[in-house]
A and B are shown apart, each in its own frame.
Chain A
Amino acid sequence: VAYRGPVIFLPQDSSFASFGVIKVPDALPDQLGFEGLFLPTYGFSMETGPYSRFPDALDPVMSLLPYRGDLGLDTGEPQSVYELDKDDLEVVQKPGGGDFRVDIALGQTKQLPGGGSITFDGLDRWVKLQISDTPGKGVALSGVLLALAGLLASLFVRPRRAWVRVGERGGRTVVELAGLDRSAGGDLADEIDELERLIRQDDAHSPGTEHEEHP
């Protein structure tokens, strides 16, 4: 046996069809490489080819394309464990011609044309864990809630201004009221009237005031 051991296949979709490669540098006479999919629950359709029906390992199958040649490991250049360097690799051919694709169910052994075999011994479940801490998230949450409160206020609080100007004209005190509504549609007149009423209330004991209106 030239190589034995677990190899990690990376999940590609929600059914855990996983992609990976197996490198066998000690195979003789040529090095062997395998590239393909691990399918936890095997399915096949003419449109998609082999696919995984379900994420759990109900009918696990490896669907691999074997390569023969030089894996390129001896040059000293670092390479990914999830990729084959295919520069000096050839796909293993069927005896009658054409690429040889091998589907192996769990426990099966398949012979390769031109020598060699591959066995699907077993599968180990693995999990990738990432642990992180975000100490600033409380601050971020309060910030975003404040922003939302500010947004609500800016949308629903009607900005308006009122002026009361007291001046003197011809020896008489003139009180002028004005208002400015920054939002369309509000009825500012009512509020100015209310303001006027309040001023008159305070002024009720001083007789002789006159009333003039400029809309």
Chain B
Amino acid sequence: VSTADFAAFSNNAIAFASIVYAFAFVAHIAEWAAGRRLPASVSASTRASTPRREPVTVSAGAAAPSDVPPTDASAPDITSGEDLAARALTAEKLGRIGVALTVVAAALHLAGLVTRGLGSDPVRVPWGNMYEFSVAGAFGVTAIYLLLLRRYSLRWLGLLVTGFALVVLMLAVLLLYVPAGPLVPALHSYWLVIHVVAAVIATGAFTVGAMASLLYLVKSRDEARPSPRTTGYIARLPGAQSLDRVAYRVHAFGFPIWTFAALIAGPIWAEYAWGRYWGWDPKEVWAFITWVVYAAYLHARATAGWRGRAAAVIALVGFATLMFNFVGINLFGSGLHSYSGLD
């Protein structure tokens, strides 16, 4: 198998991964569509086998909707409990299909990344330019979602995660693609592995965290209404407290890794490569801004008067700075981190 074969395989694998992500996205849409008129209190019997639903989820989130009788005015066509259980089962099946498709897509995605590395001569890590970093970053998001899926019962994130992966892969292929090739000389260092892997993991965690924070804002707004929704996607989300906790845990996981990637490994590599630890290069400045904003989020979450919605907004601002640093600085900036490979 030649280098060019690997590179071609990589392109195909990424294309197929996008297609399977699209199917997974559709499956999740169908899942929530099937549950549209379904009261949040009704779940398929198979749901019981989903491990470790957290106790607080039940008390905070599902308690309010379950008080409302299923024959609510908003769902007039629902007649019998059996019918509801059948629908819940359909939604459950569709959701599982979505997860299974996401796993397949992630496997293709990983294969695309590996062969991208093998498809370059000499063989190298597959994150040497903006196309590759986008593909690797999208994989980081999917991987973190799949790893935490069982532990935190994250299936409600499937819609956002598959949609995100699909959009990022499409943008990468359509706008950022450059053929596989050797690294720019400045990137020849083992710090490329340490620094960038840490950045990819932290970016993935922050992205998943931003999704959870976004849904937290939506859900807490709904819970604050006099009569919260009893059916549909928002009602079937975990309770706001539980969403907030997932968001916090993912951010708290990502933050030390970001600290290491941006403020420790980055400067050490910068000292080897450019002769200074910190030079207020645009990328460095924005990485620091992102760090400060996420530090503010972690503090706000533990501060009375800031916890809850204000903290979630800060987390989303942090995600915005992260995205600006990746997209804005790469494309419009003129710093030393100009490795997008696009002219």
Contact = CB atoms under 8 A, between A and B. Distances in A.
Interface stretch (A25-33, A90-98, A99-107, A147-155): A147-155
B335 interface: no
A130 B256 contact: no
Contact of B256 (A14, A132, A152, A185): A152
A107 to B, nearest CB: 29
Interface string B215-253: 000000000000000000000000001000100000010
B183 to A, nearest CB: 13
A134 B218 CA distance: 51
B30 to A, nearest CB: 33
Interface string B182-209: 0010100000000000000000000000
A155 B255 contact: yes
Interface residues of A, number: 13
Contacts of A187: 55
B273 interface: no
A2 interface: no
Q: Is the interface of B mostly helix, strand, loop or mixed?
A: helix
Interface residues of B, number: 16
B256 A155 contact: yes
Given A130-B275, A184-B245, A185-B56, A144 B264 contact: yes
A81 B56 CA distance: 73
A156 interface: yes
A117 B55 CA distance: 88
Contact of A148 (B55, B186, B259, B275): B259
Contacts of A14: 184, 186
B298 interface: yes
B260 interface: yes
Nearest to A149: B256
The 4 closest A-B pairs by CB, nearest first: A155-B252, A185-B245, A152-B256, A151-B256
14 contacts: A132-B275, A144-B263, A144-B264, A148-B259, A148-B264, A151-B256, A151-B259, A155-B252, A155-B256, A156-B252, A182-B302, A184-B245, A185-B56, A185-B245
